[in-house]
Structures are given as C-alpha cells and as structure tokens.
Amino acid sequence: MSGIAAVIYRDWRQRITNVAFVFWDLLVPVAYLMLFGTGFDRALAKSFIVDGRELEYTAYLLPGVIAMTAFSVAMNTAWGFFMDKDSGIFWELLTYPITRRQLLIGKGCFNVSVSLIGALLTILLGVYAMDIQVRWELLPLTALVIMTTTAGWFFLLSILAIRLQRMDSFNTVTSAAYIFLMFLSSLFYPLADLPAWFQWTARINPMTWQVDMLRYSLLGTGAPAVVALESIAFVVFTIIGLGFAVRALNNA
C-alpha cells in the first residue's frame, strides 16, 4: 500500500469512529442551506439581482454553503493532528516510511473525498427540494474547484495545527478566521452595493475566490476573466500552503 493510500485509509478509520464529525461535515451544511436559504429567500422574494440576473436567495447561497463545507471538512481534519499529538501517534507517524508530503497529500485526499460527498448532498437538496437550476454540464468543473479549494484550506489549517501547541488556541484562531472569511466575502451577499473598503477586502479573501468559482460553475454568474484570475490565485494559494505545511512538519 502506498504511503498516500495508507494515510487515506487511516483517516477514514479514524473519522468513522466519531459520528459527530461525520454529522458536522455532511449534514450541517445541508441544514444551513435549508434554514438560511429558505428564510432569506422568503424575505427577499424575487428582488435579488446578481450580475444582471434575477436569482432566488437559495440559488445564490448554494455555492457559499459548499464553500463552508470545504472549510469545515478541512478544519476538522486539521484538528485531528491534536488527537494524534495527545496520543503520541503524531511523532510516531513522522518515523514511518512515508514522506511528509505524502502524509499531507493523503490527508488532503481524504478531505477532498468527504467534501465532494457533502457538496453532492447539498446540490441534490438544492435541485430537487428547492428547485435550484444548476449547470449540470459543468459539474466536473465544480468538482475540480471543490478538490482544489478543500486541499488549499486543509494545508493552511494544518500549518496552524502543527505549529500551535494548545488545542484551545487552534479552536480560537480557526473559529475567528472562519467568521471573518465568511462574512468578509461574497458568500452571503453581492459585493456591488457594499462600501468600497469592504469590496477591496473581500476581493483579496480566498473565500471570495472559492465562492465566485463555485457560483460560476453552478449558476453561470460572474465574469469569466475575473473567475479565471481567482482560479489561478487559489491554485497558487494551495501550492504555497502545501509548501509551508511540509516545512512545518519538517520542523515538528
């Protein structure tokens, strides 16, 4: 069994022992779409305009919920480093005949698998229960976006999990980052009518890049040139994150 496959299998065995993690990863985003989407959609009716198109809020929120799924899955898997530290297995893992890069990529691949399942459940709910129209022909592109962005978030959060010594410090930092990344982005609302400082802040936020890519592949909104630049930026973000995560492991 290759090093990457071994890490994927270990993470799968570890994750299925904790039903709460599975619930959070797969079902909580679905609940977000049902509660927030339905509530705001009723309040805003048909007056929600995005890039000249009239959208129901549930359709606008769907890509954002998928982005939240990717971040949550990455955060939970990165948190697993603390479980390994507490048991001592983390230091033992570093002596196994696998490279640091294989360890991170294996965990990233497991992340991607869980994120794809959660995204599929969310899309199916949106399409068949809320009558959201998605571009099925671009579903492979949506899957590629989910894979890349989930990996990027995991590498970033892994750096924090490896470097921070206290679990409560990790939870505090990641929870605060989660809130700022979500609300200072285009996840919940279009940026066009917001203050200039907010728009500039959101434009350099990787969460905005992720949501814009998902919104383009699922709904067809957004300028292709802007989405292409955001895609390149997130790929660079992911590669840099992997490099720094490997470095953090080497210094562990």
pLDDT cut 90: percent of the chain above it: 22
Inter-axis angle of helices 139-163 and 57-87, nearest 10: 40
Task: Indicate the residue type of 230.
Answer: E
- Region label for 75, one of left (φ > 0), alpha (ψ between -120 and 50) or beta (otherwise): alpha
Which tokens in the block code for residue 130?
Answer: 């809320």
Provide the pLDDT for residue 228: 93
Provide the pLDDT for residue 21: 67
Which tokens in the block code for residue 21?
Answer: 């993690």
Tell me how far apart the alpha carbons of residues 1 and 23 are, in angstroms, rounded to a whole number. Answer: 29
Phi, psi of 53 (to 5 degrees): -110, 145
Quick one: how far is CA 237 from the chain centroid? 13
Helices (H) and strands (E) in the chain, counts: 12, 2
**pLDDT band with cut points at 50, 70 and 90 for residue 46:** low
Provide the pLDDT for residue 43: 63
Provide the pLDDT for residue 19: 67
Give alpha helix (H) positions in 99-138.
100-130
- pLDDT of 45 above 80: no
Residue 219 near residue 233, CB atoms below 8 Å: no
Chain segment 237-247, per-residue pLDDT in tens: 999 998 998 88
Residue 66 near residue 222, CB atoms below 8 Å: no
Chain segment 70-115, per-residue pLDDT in tens: 898 888 888 878 877 777 777 777 777 888 888 888 888 888 888 8
pLDDT cut 70: percent of the chain above it: 90
Tell me how far apart the alpha carbons of residues 78 and 85 are, in angstroms, rounded to a whole number. Answer: 12
Tell me how far apart the alpha carbons of residues 41 and 44 are, in angstroms, rounded to a whole number. Answer: 5
Averaged pLDDT score across all residues of the chain: 84
Which tokens in the block code for residue 67?
Answer: 């982005």
Q: List all residues 6 or more positions away from 103 whose beta carbon is below 8 Å from its beta carbon.
A: 3, 7, 93, 249
pTM: 0.86
